[in-house]
């Protein structure tokens, strides 16, 4: 899978996330409590 999304910079740029990662961020019981934040610094993007 990494090869298919490598074109978008996944694995090279911290703030490029997969759809599964985005769903987890948006989930109320996820690591950020449903707030969408940048993985690199935790700030609102």
Q: What is the 3-state secondary structure (H, E, C) of the chain?
A: CHHHHHHHCECCECCCCCHHHHHHHHCCCCCCCCCCECCCCCCEC
pLDDT at 3: 60
pLDDT at 2: 54
Q: What's the total number of domains in the chain?
A: 1
pLDDT at 8: 85
* Enclosing domain of residue 45: 1-45
pLDDT at 7: 80
pLDDT at 17: 92
Mean pLDDT by 10 residues, the chain (45 residues): 72 92 95 94 88
pLDDT at 4: 67
């Amino acid at each position: 899978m990494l090869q298919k999304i490598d074109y978008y910079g996944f694995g090279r740029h911290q703030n490029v996330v997969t759809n599964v990662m985005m769903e987890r961020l948006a989930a109320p019981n996820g690591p950020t409590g449903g707030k969408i934040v940048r993985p690199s610094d935790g700030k609102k993007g």
